[in-house]
């Protein structure tokens, strides 16, 4: 189904190309960006990098090509190269979609599409679009992006404005199939710690909705709900044993708000991810297990434009897994201070300092052979160029 959707988009692009009088008719655009990051931690190597000794193993490059042969129809494809520590180091299809906008109230997008959940899910991997080097990891985990950033399927979207009122309501309905996440670093880390591998990853159907209300210019209030099911597609191997893994229908909830005016921005979000999972080994029932996660996380952030080129900001984020035993593995807290300097409209630099307490997210035990310390400081420097 996935290859069918992507192929349909490619065929549509070719058909439109053949019918066009000239390239100008297609409004073809090419855009891209690239970033180079550097990480240093005082303790605990993070993101599978050797960050305690300083690590430049964080690269990203993106390029897209879009065509808009009519005012309502747009077709495009975007490829991404991503490297973070030992993860990635490959070129993948970021999205490939056809988009038809009937009017401002109703439009459809299909193919491999970004999933419009929460305040920042659609744009969490677009480094040029925000001040932060790293988004609040408790809500937007960089190592889980493959699973939640995009899906095969579609999005129905639109907005409605109340007559004689500034109030605007935007809706997004989405559904399809979760991307097979065998390459999702967080899935890999999770299985590693439990001594199980998922050679085919996990996937399954998902659907959900996001509603955003803009009661006054600059203010946005919203909520998202996503349901996903993965109870028949994965194969687990434990030593020489083969089994299956899955989850019953589970949900992700997001509640968020953002206000922007002139030089400053404030935003906050609450995220909850309760889900159960199971492992079944028919040839060795002693290996069967069930588990439950109930992650609750939030962040509050603010930024201020000191000058036309310099923006500074800070955020606080906390996450708790209420199913974990008490201790650093149950929580993750992170105070972050950040700055971004735009040399011009193409080139920028970022610097960021994190004060992290807890070990709930993002630690690779194989990179921390002496054990994960309960706190660490993380310094990030980043350069980026976009066009």
CA pair distance 199, 218, nearest whole angstrom: 46
Looking at beta carbons only, is 191 or 212 nearer to another protein? 212
Of residues 243 and 340, the one with the C-beta less far from another protein: 340
- Taking Cα atoms as reference points, which of 35, 34, 58 lies closest to residue 48? 58
Bridge partners of residue 252, in order along the sequence: 226
How many Å apart are CA 324 and CA 292, to the nearest integer? 9
Least Å from the CB of residue 378 to another protein: 24
Q: Give the binding site for another protein (CB under 8 A).
A: 27, 29, 31, 33, 62, 64, 66, 68, 71, 74, 76, 78, 95, 97, 99, 101, 103-104, 109, 113-114, 122-123, 126, 128-130, 159, 166, 168, 170, 217-218, 261-262, 305, 308-309, 342, 345, 386
- Cβ distance to another protein smaller for residue 54 or 218: 218
CB of 344 to another protein, least distance (A): 9
* Residue 383 token pair: 């350069």
Residues 6+ apart with CB under 8 A from 163: none
CA angle 353, 137, 329 (to 5 degrees): 100
Q: Around 26, how many Cα atoms within 13 Å sit in the side-chain half-sphere? A: 20
Rounded to a whole number of angstroms, the minimum distance from the CB of residue 71 to another protein is 6
Q: How far is the CB of 277 from another protein (least distance, A)?
A: 30
Q: Cα separation of 347 and 128, whole Å? A: 9
**Least Å distance between CB 345 and another protein?**
6
In 118-151, which positions are buried (b, 16+ CB within 10 angstroms) versus exposed (e)? bbbbbbbbebbebbbbbbbbbbbbbbbbbbbbbb
Nearer of residues 27 and 289 to another protein, judged by Cβ: 27
| Both tokens assigned to 222 | 């919203």
* Closer residue to another protein, CB minimum distance, 218 or 371: 218
Q: Which of 76, 72, 68, 86 is nearest to 20 (CA)?
A: 68
Least separation in angstroms between CB 180 and another protein: 20
Q: How far is the CB of 205 from another protein (least distance, A)?
A: 21
| DSSP 8-state symbol, 325 | P
CB closer to another protein, 133 vs 250: 133
Which distant-in-sequence residues (6+ apart) come within 8 Å of 146 by Cβ? 179, 181, 183, 184
């Amino acid at each position: 189904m996935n290859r069918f959707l992507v192929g349909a988009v490619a065929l549509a692009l070719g058909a439109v190309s053949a019918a066009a009088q000239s390239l100008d008719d297609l409004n073809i655009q090419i855009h891209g960006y690239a970033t180079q990051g550097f990480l240093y931690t005082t303790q605990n190597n993070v993101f599978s990098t050797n960050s305690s000794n300083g690590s430049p193993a964080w690269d990203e490059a993106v390029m897209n090509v879009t065509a808009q042969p009519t005012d309502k129809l747009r077709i495009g494809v975007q490829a991404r190269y991503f490297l973070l520590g030992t993860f990635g180091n490959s070129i993948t299809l970021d999205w490939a979609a056809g988009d038809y906008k009937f009017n401002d109230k109703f439009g459809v997008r299909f193919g491999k599409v970004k999933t419009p959940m929460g305040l920042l899910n659609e744009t969490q991997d677009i480094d040029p679009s925000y001040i932060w080097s790293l988004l609040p990891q408790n809500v937007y985990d960089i190592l889980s992006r493959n699973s939640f950033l995009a899906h095969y399927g579609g999005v129905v979207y639109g907005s409605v404005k109340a007559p004689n009122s500034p109030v605007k309501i935007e809706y997004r309905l989405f559904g399809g199939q979760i991307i097979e996440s065998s390459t999702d670093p967080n899935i890999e880390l999770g299985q590693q710690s439990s001594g199980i591998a998922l050679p085919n990853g996990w996937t399954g159907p998902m659907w959900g909705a996001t509603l955003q209300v803009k009661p006054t210019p600059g203010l946005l209030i919203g909520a998202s709900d996503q349901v996903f099911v993965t109870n028949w597609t994965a194969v687990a191997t434990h030593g020489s044993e083969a089994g299956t893994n899955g989850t019953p229908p589970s949900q992700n909830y997001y509640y968020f708000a953002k206000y922007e005016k002139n030089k400053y921005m404030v935003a906050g979000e609450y995220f909850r991810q309760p889900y159960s999972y199971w492992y079944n080994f028919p040839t060795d029932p002693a290996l069967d297990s069930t588990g439950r996660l109930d992650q609750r996380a939030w962040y509050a952030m603010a930024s201020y434009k000191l000058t036309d080129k310099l923006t500074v900001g800070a955020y606080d984020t906390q996450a708790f897994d209420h199913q974990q035993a008490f201790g650093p593995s149950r929580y993750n807290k992170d105070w972050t201070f950040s700055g971004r300097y735009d040399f011009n409209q193409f080139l920028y630099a970022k610097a960021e300092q994190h004060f992290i307490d807890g070990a709930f997210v993002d630690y690779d035990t194989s990179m921390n052979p002496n054990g994960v310390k309960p706190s660490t400081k993380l310094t990030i420097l980043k350069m980026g160029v976009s066009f």
